[in-house]
Structure 1
């Protein structure tokens, strides 16, 4: 799977994509993450990619031409399944959406800044708009990193234990059950006996009950859905 990230701050994405699971996935050849500097497609000598909004008002708006030039260049090289704009007014990212995107082959992700991007880019090119929450950040780079991480870890072969992702919170519309490791007794705080029993059916039942209980207490909205 390939991600092409378009941004005015490519340096902001260097660290998230160069460590841990995302780094291993790229080294294994399971994913390709390419960051494109939008300023390389600017048409003026100052390499600026924003301008004042029509109609007045505060803030600056990212121009249509640099985005269009970059997107068209990428589309001339391969077909894309999705062109995603990270935006606080997009559909909120969830596990089901990540599962679907993990089946795609090529995806472009646009990172906005300032007051936003020219609406015509959204109208002409964008196929999906995604938010990571009901709040506003300084730009789309961190949301893009979150999206890529959520999707790449689902690609077969990325995680050393492929069944691990299947038991994550939200995969079954429930939060994950509590987890424990050694020691079994730490200062009088003991691991639940059932986890030490060796009875897998009993353990699976306990985990399901705990997931249901935790979801009911912390995210009852998931049960309503």
Structure 2
């Protein structure tokens, strides 16, 4: 995969992209990162990328020309059958694990980071996707781009040491992840559940599945709205509902 990030602040990225799994992915040639300062594409002699909004109002708005030219330059240089151009903005669709898994199948991602008051509306015509990482306001799209890069790159083949590592993580199965324990078996009176020490893999798997469902029911019941519950799982939920009322 190749990832191009269009940003006015490329200096924000090297430490993040050069650390841990993201750096390992680059070393294993699973991904290439390219930071593009779209100010360099401005056709203004002062290299301006923003201007006052028509109709008045506070703040400055990013001009379309530098971003259009930057995207055109990248797409002319990089051949890719599967490419997505992602605009990071508050009006975009909420980002989810399902979306990360979808993007991880692409060859080329172009992430456009906004700044100032917002984008000229015509920039949206470039995007195949508009994404928001949450209902809050950030100074720019750089942190959102880092979140997307991290969540996507770790899904690429050969990046994680254990290919099964991400399969049972929170949101990957539609549920929150089950609890984890390690040594010691008894820490300050807090003991590891006996089933995890039993060596009975079938019972351990059943326990993990039930605990994942229970944690989701207690903390994120909204995730169960479209989750295909079995009759047994519905029975468990009924029991937990009764416990909550007593």
TM above 0.5, one fold?
Answer: yes
Give me the whole-angstrom Cα distance separating, in 2, the residues matched to 1:87 and 1:64: 15
SS in structure 1 at match of 2:92: strand
Unaligned stretches of 5+ residues in structure 2: 227-246
Counterpart in the other structure of 2:206: 205
- Where in structure 2 are the equivalents of 1:139-178 lying within 5 Å? 139-178=140-179
Q: Where does residue 55 of structure 1 map in the other structure?
A: 55
What secondary structure is seen at the aligned counterpart in 2 of 1:97?
A: helix
Q: Please report the RMSD computed on the Cα atoms of aligned residues, expressed in angstroms.
A: 0.9
Superposition pairs of residues 38-187 of structure 1, within 5 angstroms: 38-78=38-78, 79=80, 81-123=83-125, 125-187=126-188
Question: What's the secondary structure of 2:167's corresponding residue?
Answer: helix
Task: Provide the residue aligned with 1:221 in structure 2.
Answer: 222
Divergent runs of 4+, >6 A: none
Q: By how many angstroms is 1:89 displaced?
A: 1.1
Aligned-pair CA distance for 1:45: 3.0
Q: Distance in 1 between matches of 2:39 and 2:142?
A: 15
Larger radius of gyration: 2
Deviates more, 1:39-48 or 1:181-190: 39-48
Distance 1:85 1:149 in 2: 17
Measured against aligned partners, the alpha-carbon deviations of 1:175-205 in whole angstroms (never above 9, x if no partner) come to 0001011111112111111111111110110
Q: Which runs of 5+ in 1 are unaligned?
A: none
C-alpha distance in 1 between matches for 2:46 and 2:163: 48
Deviation at 1:47, TM superposition (A): 1.9
CA distance in 2, matches of 1:65, 1:209: 54
Q: Which moved more, 1:143-152 or 1:78-87?
A: 78-87
Distance 1:138 1:112 in 2: 9
Displacement of 1:48 in angstroms is 1.9
SS in 1 for 2:111: strand
Deviation at 1:46, TM superposition (A): 2.5
Structure 1 residues 138-179: Cα deviation after superposition (integer angstroms, max 9, x where no partner):
000000000010000001110001101001100111000010
SS at match of 2:112: strand
Deviations 1:111-142 (A, max 9, x none): 0001111111112x111001100111000000
**Aligned residue pair count:** 224
**Which deviations, in whole Å up to 9, do the C-alpha atoms of 1:2-54 show, x marking residues without a partner?**
11000000011122111010000001100111110111112223322110001
- Cα deviation digits, residues 80-115 of structure 1 (max 9, x gap): 511000111101110111111110001100000011
State the partner residue of 1:31.
31
